[in-house]
């Protein structure tokens, strides 16, 4: 079963909010991590009650992240901006990238204090990776942060990751301007990696899920296939386009595998041309 949290060390992290469930820590719980609190586990269990696929969705998303980063490194990308990077788990972006290119650089961005603290701890002694605690909806702050300026050279291609994070950015938050700001910073040959939770094939569940999450203070925007395609405006999608996570250059499906749409997550990778 899933492990329970290591509450004491977590409480010591400045700025941590233990009164409300938090997306990063609920996702950590779904992935069997131990950087979560009782409130996160309670709300996550309510989410899994309406969405029993939750943990499988998280694993499938994580597997997509791995394949997409490997793809980018194989395309020559040696620097990454990982927006909404989460609490470190198995197979983090710098670990995936640095296996193939030890000089690959990664800047992680998350606004959640537990995610930031654990990422900093993990990166100690790694000069090629750093953490920026910031809101991804504020591209100016992310791009002006010292680790970003020190590690990333936007005059060369960069891999920009927005993996399982854009559902926390609503249209009213100004997602289009945000996307344009990151795109405007990138040079030709850069790649954009996106995955996005959706309820396209289970519309009835969508409302129940949003209600559970709203109670915990987390607003979620589900986008459909066209909405996720629109995230790539100004970029050229690489094959196979916007597909369910297991379908993006994944292994040949086994007969017992769940249907691809059970991933409840659209994804794609695109190049700036």
Closest C-alpha to 213, from 4, 27, 61, 22: 22
137 binds ligand SAM (CB under 6 A): yes
The stretch near ligand SAM (CB under 6 A) out of 22-30, 97-105, 219-227, 241-249 is: 22-30
Distance between CA atoms of 31 and 225, rounded to whole angstroms?
A: 25
The stretch near ligand SAM (CB under 6 A) out of 71-79, 164-172, 208-216, 244-252 is: 164-172
Q: How far is the CB of 60 from ligand SAM (least distance, A)?
A: 11
Among 165, 179, 193, 242, contact with ligand SAM (rule: CB under 6 A): 165
Within residues 83-122, the interface with ligand SAM by CB under 6 A covers 84-86, 110-112, 115
Residue 30: CA count within 13 A, CB half-sphere: 27
Distance between CA atoms of 55 and 62, rounded to whole angstroms?
A: 11
The stretch near ligand SAM (CB under 6 A) out of 40-48, 61-69, 240-248, 254-262 is: 61-69
40 binds ligand SAM (CB under 6 A): no
Among 21, 27, 50, 235, contact with ligand SAM (rule: CB under 6 A): 27
DSSP letters, 149-184, are: HHH--TTS--EEEEES-GGGS-TTTTHHHHHHHHHH
Among 36, 61, 190, 198, contact with ligand SAM (rule: CB under 6 A): 61
For ligand SAM, which is the closer residue by CB, 16 or 156? 16
62 binds ligand SAM (CB under 6 A): yes
Tokens matching residue 231? 């995230």
Q: How far is the CB of 220 from ligand SAM (least distance, A)?
A: 10
Burial 28-42 (b: 16+ CB within 10 A, else e): bbbbebebbbebbbe
Q: How far is the CB of 161 from ligand SAM (least distance, A)?
A: 7
DSSP single-letter state for residue 101: -
Q: How far is the CB of 197 from ligand SAM (least distance, A)?
A: 8
135 binds ligand SAM (CB under 6 A): yes
What residues contact residue 59 under an 8 Å CB cut-off, 6+ apart? 31
For ligand SAM, which is the closer residue by CB, 174 or 184? 174
131 binds ligand SAM (CB under 6 A): no
Which residues does residue 73 pair with via DSSP β-bridges, in sequence order? none
Distance between CA atoms of 66 and 206, rounded to whole angstroms?
A: 27
Distance between CA atoms of 42 and 129, rounded to whole angstroms?
A: 33
Residues that bind ligand SAM (CB under 6 A): 23-24, 27, 61-62, 65, 84-86, 110-112, 115, 135-137, 163-165, 168
């Amino acid at each position: 079963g899933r492990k329970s949290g290591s509450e004491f060390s977590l409480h010591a992290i400045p700025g941590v909010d233990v009164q409300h469930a938090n997306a990063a820590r609920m996702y950590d719980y779904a992935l069997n991590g131990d950087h979560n609190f009782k409130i996160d586990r309670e709300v996550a269990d309510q989410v899994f009650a309406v969405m029993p696929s939750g943990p499988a969705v998280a694993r499938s998303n994580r597997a997509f992240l791995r394949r997409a980063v490997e793809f980018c490194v194989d395309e020559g990308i040696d620097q990454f901006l990982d927006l909404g990077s989460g609490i470190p788990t198995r197979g983090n972006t710098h670990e995936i990238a640095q296996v193939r290119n030890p000089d690959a650089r990664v800047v992680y961005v998350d606004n959640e204090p537990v995610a930031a603290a654990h990422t900093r701890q993990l990166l100690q002694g790694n000069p090629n990776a750093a953490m920026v605690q910031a809101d991804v909806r504020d591209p100016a702050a992310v791009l002006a942060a010292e680790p970003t300026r020190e590690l990333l050279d936007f005059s060369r291609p960069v891999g920009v990751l927005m993996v399982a994070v854009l559902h926390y950015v609503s249209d009213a938050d100004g997602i289009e301007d945000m996307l344009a700001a990151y795109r405007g910073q990138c040079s030709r040959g850069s790649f954009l990696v996106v995955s996005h939770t959706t309820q396209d094939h289970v519309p009835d569940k969508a409302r129940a899920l949003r209600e559970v999450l709203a109670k915990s203070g987390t607003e979620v925007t589900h986008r459909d296939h066209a909405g996720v395609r629109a995230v790539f405006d100004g970029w050229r999608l690489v094959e196979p386009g916007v597909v369910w996570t297991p379908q993006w250059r994944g292994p040949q499906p086994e007969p017992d595998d769940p249907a691809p749409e059970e991933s409840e997550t659209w994804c794609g990778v695109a190049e700036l041309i």
